[in-house]
Structure 1
């Protein structure tokens, strides 16, 4: 790129003469252009001096120009000095910052190294004590523990840092019952008093909903399953106490915090014990105490039902109840209980327990875990009673009595559900209602005896079937041993009955039911409503 030394590169010197003449005319006669007050005298400080004035300044004003140049040079020198001073201050600040940072890093590394050395020293000391603990005599082990504790305490005083209680050795050779330092102090006075043989029987029955002999029987049955071995760290919780935690929790429905206070155990430990013992009851005791009856037992049950309620070939009574739960995180709609929500005016979620009882109110079959949105007939279709026993012909020539919420099938006998019934049908419904009352009363005793079934439970859905199954097994044990219930434990069930749309599933069953109702009327065995 070419740069011109003059703003108008294409004009020659002679071509610029008219510019000079123009400027000369303007300076000589400013009034000709309409500017007044401008003359030969240069009175305006902003007016450019004339050429003659410039010549005069050139002759006698050179000293002023030189003075201005000197002042301008002084200003530039001052600015350079200030800039240099600022640069020096910045460099000094950066240097001090780097030095402080290096000192902090050095101190931190030194501190970490010291702490690592102290930690390694303690670890070596504990390792040496652990290796020799098994070979030393009892007195020597105690002295070693005391020395270790004193060493830790002295180290704490030297460093000023507290030592965690879990790092202090407990002394595995100490006497039994010695309270270790990492175990929180909790009182066990209540359980120690209850477990004594001289504890009042009535009070024991009120706490555990069973007599001491029944409780001891359960402990003997589960001893091999729930007993744990002692370890070097601590002694295992005895089997009776484990079972006591579970039974008391099921019986009272108390929060885990109260269970922890009663038995002197941690809250998480109590929750774990409840689930473990319920699983043991489900796996070990259910095959013995909750099973389908044998042929001889079925014949005896038929005779008992017929002698009392005049209906032949009845082997059991079926009923379905709902257990309230907290809204689950998945499949919420499946557990929504519409009927309970409408009755209680509060959103309700539930899980179902459908069971068959014999003439004594003892469960012979249970179906646990179906969502609360299902009806009685839908739960029945999913149960093993319908899919296995009935399908295999195990219920041939037998009746199971249900309420109007169940359909009429070849093996399930239900009352007449339509309106405008005849006397014969009314009498049949009254007789069959007496059988249905046995199942209802059994579930009332189940919920009354085990208060954990009366309110919403926080047990997880995957663990809840074991808890409900354990309650049914314990109910059977108490019923078999004739355990009485006090009046204050009475509980009334309010499960609604929904009549299925197709409640007549078998034409043969319809004829059989009509024959039974006519025989009751003609033999004079129908209910009092027909009189």
Structure 2
């Protein structure tokens, strides 16, 4: 493609390559990045996000949904083994957070594929925003059971025998989770490079991912439609399911305390007849 672009513009392929990386570097500069990818921190912004999510499944207080996706890369020269994920290919594990309109609110693209989603969240600025109360309360992030349930992070029940409120909670949770799956699907439809093996060094792959996030939100802001569905599938089936690979499991009194908090939330908000 760079050779074709070079022919179109009458310049060499190396020149096209330099221009591409200059553009990506400019797009991902912090002052540009934070214009397009920013987490809501005012009460008015948070309440608007919560209303949008409440309309989907009646799930109160949710401001965003989170998941991790793996972007395939060529085997790097340094620390090659660290980039092999549990599906046995080399990747960057990307934490991405969507709102109800499928805009990206937060993204972390710097971790090798072997690192679990839960660890990425534990060491992210997003966790600090919630735990240090920078996000107006009450406010919730919603994720799959690969994450640990917290007061601000709502995860589903994994046991099969559930009381009615718990089952209602899980059904609503599943509908809310579809937002992140569709968001990732739309993101991949806009940028096919996220489907394929990116053949540059890991640090450059991360820049490419950030640039794709910025441009996705730019397209959303401007109402630029997605490519035709026939060009690419929606990507939903490619969302990594970490429910089978927990990062850490609480035990004893801690686990019972977690269960009690989730039960309380379910009984307060989902103790209704179908």
Common topology (TM > 0.5): yes
Q: 1:313 aligns with which of 61, 65, 89?
A: 61
Q: 1:285 aligns with which of 11, 32, 53?
A: 32
CA distance in 1 between counterparts of 2:264 and 2:223 reads: 37
CA distance in 2 between counterparts of 1:501 and 1:292 reads: 27
Report how far residue 303 of structure 1 moved: 1.9
CA distance in 2 between counterparts of 1:418 and 1:259 reads: 54
CA distance in 2 between counterparts of 1:333 and 1:256 reads: 31
Q: Quick check: 1:445–1:490 contact (8 Å CA) kept in 2?
A: no
Q: What does the per-residue CA deviation read over 1:162-214, in whole Å, with 9 as the maximum and x for residues that have no partner?
A: xxxxxxxxxxxxxxxxxxxxxxxxxxxxxxxxxxxxxxxxxxxxxxxxxxxxx
Q: Give the 3-state SS of the residue equivalent to 1:475 in structure 2.
A: helix
Q: What residue in structure 2 maps to residue 402 of structure 1?
A: 143
Map 1:229-308 → 2, pairs under 5 A = 255-283=1-29, 284-295=31-42, 296-308=44-56
Q: 2:233 aligns with which of 490, 498, 509?
A: 490
Structure 1 residue ranges, 4+ long, deviating more than 4 angstroms after superposition: 503-509
Q: Give the 3-state SS of the residue equivalent to 1:421 in structure 2.
A: coil
Task: Flag structure 2 segments of 5+ consecutive residues without an equivalent.
Answer: none
CA distance in 2 between counterparts of 1:509 and 1:463 reads: 40
Q: What residue in structure 1 maps to residue 132 of structure 2?
A: 392
Q: What residue in structure 2 maps to residue 133 of structure 1?
A: none
Q: Quick check: 1:290–1:363 contact (8 Å CA) kept in 2?
A: yes
Q: Which has the larger radius of gyration?
A: 1
Task: Flag structure 1 segments of 5+ consecutive residues without an equivalent.
Answer: 1-254, 342-347, 525-530
Alignment TM-score, normalising by the size of structure 2:
0.87
**C-alpha spacing 1:506/1:393, structure 2 compared with 1 (3 Å):** farther
Higher relative contact order (CA 8 A, sep 6+): 2
- After superposition, the CA RMSD in angstroms is 2.1
1:360 corresponds to 2:101: yes
CA distance in 1 between counterparts of 2:250 and 2:22 reads: 41
Q: 1:413 aligns with which of 135, 154, 165?
A: 154
CA distance in 1 between counterparts of 2:205 and 2:216 reads: 17
Q: What residue in structure 2 maps to residue 467 of structure 1?
A: 208
Map 1:148-227 → 2, pairs under 5 A = none
If each structure's helix is expressed as a fraction of its own residues, which one has the higher value?
A: 1
If each structure's strand is expressed as a fraction of its own residues, which one has the higher value?
A: 2
Q: Quick check: 2:103–2:183 contact (8 Å CA) kept in 1?
A: yes
Q: What does the per-residue CA deviation read over 1:405-443, in whole Å, with 9 as the maximum and x for residues that have no partner?
A: 111112111001223333332221110111111111111
Report how far residue 483 of structure 1 moved: 2.1
The number of residue pairs the alignment matches comes to: 263
Report how far residue 329 of structure 1 moved: 0.3
Map 1:105-120 → 2, pairs under 5 A = none
CA distance in 1 between counterparts of 2:167 and 2:271 reads: 14
**C-alpha spacing 1:431/1:517, structure 2 compared with 1 (3 Å):** same
Report how far residue 261 of structure 1 moved: 3.7
Alignment TM-score, normalising by the size of structure 1:
0.47
